[in-house]
């Protein structure tokens, strides 16, 4: 952990918070502005020192806590993330782009020069890396908050934990546990709906099953998932075809180590 435990108690000023954007949709940093009831309170506890989407005032680093949204996709951003790390005591990745490359990491499974020519008439103007990678590929990170998008209450919990120098309470169990806690009827068992819940990290509050929909794993893998087994059940018992199985492992968290591995097994047709 890069956090300097001396920092919070000894420094006379409010902790400085910075929000950084890399390749992303802005939705995770927006979660901070969506804290309508807490935003002004938060601003009393921390100095919002760098947050380009919300403020044109920039306070020089270093920063006590940095929230990093987005994945690394350009040569310039490869350098910028190093500088962000140098300027940050405690670096928190927020969202699937920062923790697992995001939806734009689908390029990693394809030919990016062909992608550029599909979108742009003159691809020569476009400067991009072959792969979209999570922040942790490039620098050490102090905490990763999963989700596409993140849960704003979990974000407040992470900031609050940092301010109070304790570990964030972000349970790593599955969406299934959240369904049980909500007394949801299981969409898989009761309706035969393919659901990624058993392997997906909690945090959304089991939203999709609460709306009669199978989970599509936007929070990425839970701790120790067995996705190969899940895929087997999807195919054998629920009649899901191979492309559906791969699409559900390979969407917003396609590079999460476990999902990537299993989607590649499945693509090659390996046995679990």
CA angle 53, 59, 61 (to 5 degrees): 105
Chain positions 125 to 154 lying near other proteins, rule: CB under 8 A, are 125-128, 148-149
- Among residues 9, 40, 167, 268, which is the contact residue for other proteins, using CB under 8 A? 40
Distances (CA, A) of 28 to 147, 211, 214, 234: 9, 22, 23, 31
**C-alpha closest to that of 94 among 160, 26, 40, 161:** 26
Tokens (6 digits) for 28: 């995770």
Interstrand relation of 63-69 and 143-145 (parallel, antiparallel or unpaired): unpaired
Count of chain residues binding other proteins (CB under 8 A): 75
- Among residues 14, 27, 131, 228, which is the contact residue for other proteins, using CB under 8 A? 27
Residue 61 binds other proteins, judged by CB under 8 A: yes
CB 24 within 8 A of CB 95: yes
Distance CA 41, CA 46 (A): 9
- Among residues 8, 15, 16, 31, which is the contact residue for other proteins, using CB under 8 A? 31
Residue 251 binds other proteins, judged by CB under 8 A: yes
- Give me the 82-121 binding string for other proteins, x by CB under 8 A, dash otherwise: -xx--x--------------xxx-xx--x-x-xxx-xxxx
- Report the first-to-last Cα separation within the chain, whole angstroms: 36
Tokens (6 digits) for 74: 């350009």
Instruction: For the CB of residue 58, give the shortest distance to other proteins in the complex, in Å.
Output: 8
Residue 57 binds other proteins, judged by CB under 8 A: yes
Residue 185 binds other proteins, judged by CB under 8 A: no
Residue 212 binds other proteins, judged by CB under 8 A: yes
CA dihedral 147→153→157→160, nearest 10 degrees, is: 130
Residue 26 binds other proteins, judged by CB under 8 A: yes
Q: Between 86 and 165, whose beta carbon lies closer to other proteins?
A: 86
Instruction: For the CB of residue 77, give the shortest distance to other proteins in the complex, in Å.
Output: 7
Residue 22 binds other proteins, judged by CB under 8 A: yes
């Amino acid at each position: 952990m890069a956090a300097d435990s001396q920092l919070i108690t000894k420094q006379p000023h409010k902790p400085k918070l910075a929000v950084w954007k890399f390749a992303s949709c802005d939705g995770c940093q927006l979660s901070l502005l969506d804290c309508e009831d807490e935003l002004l309170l938060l601003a009393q506890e921390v100095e919002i020192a760098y947050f380009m989407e919300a403020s044109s005032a920039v306070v020089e680093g270093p920063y006590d806590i940095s929230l990093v949204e987005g994945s690394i996709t350009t040569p310039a951003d490869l350098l910028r993330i190093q500088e962000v790390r140098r300027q940050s005591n405690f670096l928190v990745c927020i969202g699937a782009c920062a923790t697992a490359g995001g939806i734009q990491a689908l390029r990693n499974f394809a030919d990016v020069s062909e992608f550029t020519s599909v979108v742009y008439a003159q691809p020569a103007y476009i400067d991009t890396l072959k792969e979209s990678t999570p922040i942790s590929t490039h620098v050490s990170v102090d905490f990763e908050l999963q989700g596409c998008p993140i849960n704003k209450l979990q974000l407040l919990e992470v900031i609050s934990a940092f301010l109070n120098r304790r570990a964030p309470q972000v349970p790593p169990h599955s969406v299934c546990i959240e369904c049980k806690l909500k007394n949801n009827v299981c969409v898989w068992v009761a309706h035969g709906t393919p659901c990624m819940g058993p392997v997906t990290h909690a945090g959304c509050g089991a939203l999709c099953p609460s709306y009669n929909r199978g989970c599509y794993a936007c929070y990425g893998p839970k701790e120790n998932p067995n996705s190969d087994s899940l895929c087997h059940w999807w195919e054998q018992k629920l009649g899901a075809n191979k492309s559906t199985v791969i699409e559900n492992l390979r969407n917003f968290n396609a590079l999460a180590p476990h999902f990537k591995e299993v989607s590649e097994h499945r693509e090659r047709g390996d046995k679990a």
